[in-house]
Structure 1
Amino acid sequence: MRNDAGKLSLILLMAPFALWIGLLIVLPQLGIGYVSLREKVGINQYEFGPGNYADFIAEPIYRNTLFRTAWMSILVTALALLVGFPVAWYIAKIARERSRAALFLLCLIPLWVSDLVRAYGWIVLLRETGVVSTVLVGAGIIAQPVEMLYNDVTVVIGLVYTVILFMIVPLVSTLQGMDDALLEAGYNLGGGRLTVFRRIIVPYAMPGIVAGCIITFMLTAGSYLTPILLGGKNSSWFTEQIYNQFITRYNWEAGATFGVLLLGFTSLVVWAGLRLTGQSLSTTVAKE
């Protein structure tokens, strides 16, 4: 009876999660894959085949946009790691126990508003008549207002600001488990700060680093509002191509194809990153 009750409790607990995964993730992905294999041969006439994928390969602008999105996403991930690691180290190892909650709260504040509001906040700061340009002119650093929007630098800054929390949280969780005796042993054995960082801290924090990089990379590659609003017409982001195919051109077959390719390509990049670092999903994002 106890075994049956335990199984029933497990089923009831897992049922909402299984329904969530199945109905909102698996089935939509299967539907997108199905639509991507439909080739339009006439009005409301379709055939199944890889023609949409062949059209993508034959069009350089689509390929270049996908590769550019992947490269920019890797750059944003690297910058988020560079900025987020010192913050995570301070929260996990330097800050007092009572102040850690306040520091986490400060990191969470940007998530209290939507991506749209955050993007418009950057527009208010960086536009030609914005806060930054006005302050620089008032301080005599520049002679006239400068437009700081609609370029790759602004897009990268906005994306780093958007995803950095998802880099900090897994790093803090990992670094909090590090015994300070490991650091003391490294220094006692004659290691300098750089050696201790390279030989002790980084290997120990690698699961958190990889988990943070995976999350931030996938979020960045799938971002839409921030690149469009901060990059303007100069933005070349693959999610914009997907939006244009679905909404502007009403070409659902091409849009579905682009969606499948984005998922497949980003998954390939994540797999390559796991192979290079010697990690696995079970030791990073699925770590107990």
Structure 2
Amino acid sequence: MGRDAGKLSLTLLMTPFLLWIGLLIILPQIGIGYVSLREKVSYDEFHYGLKNYVDFISEPVYRNTLFRTAWMSIVVTALALVVGFPVAYYIAKIARQKSRAALFLMCLIPLWVSDLVRAYGWIVLLRETGVVSRTLVALGIIGQPVEMLYNDATVVMGLVYTVVLFMIVPLTSTLQGMDDALLEAGYNLGGSRLTVFRRIIVPYAMPGIVSGCIITFMLTAGSYLTPVLLGGKNSSWFTEQIYNQFITRYNWEAGATFGVTLLVFTSFVVWLGLKLTGQSLATTVAKD
């Protein structure tokens, strides 16, 4: 009876998760992959092959946009790590136990509003007639209002602000498990702060670093609203290409091809990052 009850409980707990994975992730990806292999011959007539992928590879604009998106996503991930690591370390090792919940709450505040509202908040701040430009003019730092939107720096800043929490959370969870005795031993053995950070803190936090980088990279590469709104016409983000194929041109075959390509390419970048750092999913995302 006990074993049967345990199996029933496990089944009831896992069923919603498996349905979510199967119906909302796996099946749509299979459908997108199927559509990407269709070659439209005439109205409602299709052949199947790899022509859509060949067309994508042969078009420099699409390739360059994909590589640019991946590079910008790596930059955003690196900056999110630089910004998020000190915050995570302070919450995990320096802040008092009672104040940690409040600090986490402060980090969660940006998630209370949608990406659209956050992006328009940056527009209000950085546009030519925005708060920052007018303040600089009033202080005499600049002679006339300056347009700070619609460039790569603004897009990167907006994306870092959006994803930095997803870097802080795994880093904090990892650093909380580090025994303070390790740090004390490092200092007692004559290590400087830099040495202790490099030889003790970073190796211990590596699973959290890698898992945070995976999450932030994938979220950044798949972002749409922030690059389009903050980058404007100068934005060249791959998700915008996917949107244009599906919605503007109504070319579902090309849009599906772009979507599969983005998934495969970003997965390859994640795999390469794991190999270079000597980590694995079992020791990062799936770590207890």
Match of 1:39 in 2: 39
Distance 1:108 1:54 in 2: 43
For each residue in 1:170-221, what CA deviation from the matched residue of structure 2 results, as whole angstroms up to 9, or x when unmatched?
A: 0000001111110111111111111111100000000000010000000000
Distance 2:152 2:191 in 1: 40
1:254 equivalent in alignment to 2:257: no
1:44 Cα offset (Å):
1.2
Match of 2:99 in 1: 99
Q: CA RMSD in A?
A: 0.5
The residue type paired with residue 132 of structure 1 is V
Once the two structures are superposed, the pairs formed by residues 1-288 of structure 1 within 5 Å of their partners are: 1-288=1-288
The residue type paired with residue 241 of structure 2 is Q
For each residue in 1:260-280, what CA deviation from the matched residue of structure 2 results, as whole angstroms up to 9, or x when unmatched?
A: 000000000000011111111
For each residue in 1:157-177, what CA deviation from the matched residue of structure 2 results, as whole angstroms up to 9, or x when unmatched?
A: 000000000000000000011
Distance 1:228 1:89 in 2: 33
Task: Kindly tell me the number of residue pairs found equivalent between the two proteins.
Answer: 288
The residue type paired with residue 162 of structure 2 is T
Distance 1:74 1:171 in 2: 18
Distance 1:4 1:99 in 2: 43
1:42 Cα offset (Å):
1.2
Question: 4+ runs of 1 displaced by more than 3 Å?
Answer: none
Distance 2:34 2:79 in 1: 37
For each residue in 1:123-178, what CA deviation from the matched residue of structure 2 results, as whole angstroms up to 9, or x when unmatched?
A: 00000000000000000000000000000000000000000000000000000111
Unaligned segments of structure 2, at least 5 residues: none
Work out the percentage of aligned pairs sharing the same amino acid. 85
The residue type paired with residue 121 of structure 1 is G
Distance 1:234 1:87 in 2: 32
Q: Tell me the secondary structure at the aligned position of residue 73 of structure 2.
A: helix
For each residue in 1:36-83, what CA deviation from the matched residue of structure 2 results, as whole angstroms up to 9, or x when unmatched?
A: 000011111100000000000010000000000000000000000000
Distance 1:18 1:77 in 2: 30
1:283 Cα offset (Å):
1.0
1:2 Cα offset (Å):
1.6
Unaligned segments of structure 1, at least 5 residues: none
In the superposition, the TM-score normalised over structure 1's length comes to 0.99
Distance 1:215 1:13 in 2: 25
The residue type paired with residue 205 of structure 1 is A
For each residue in 1:92-120, what CA deviation from the matched residue of structure 2 results, as whole angstroms up to 9, or x when unmatched?
A: 11111111111111100000000000000
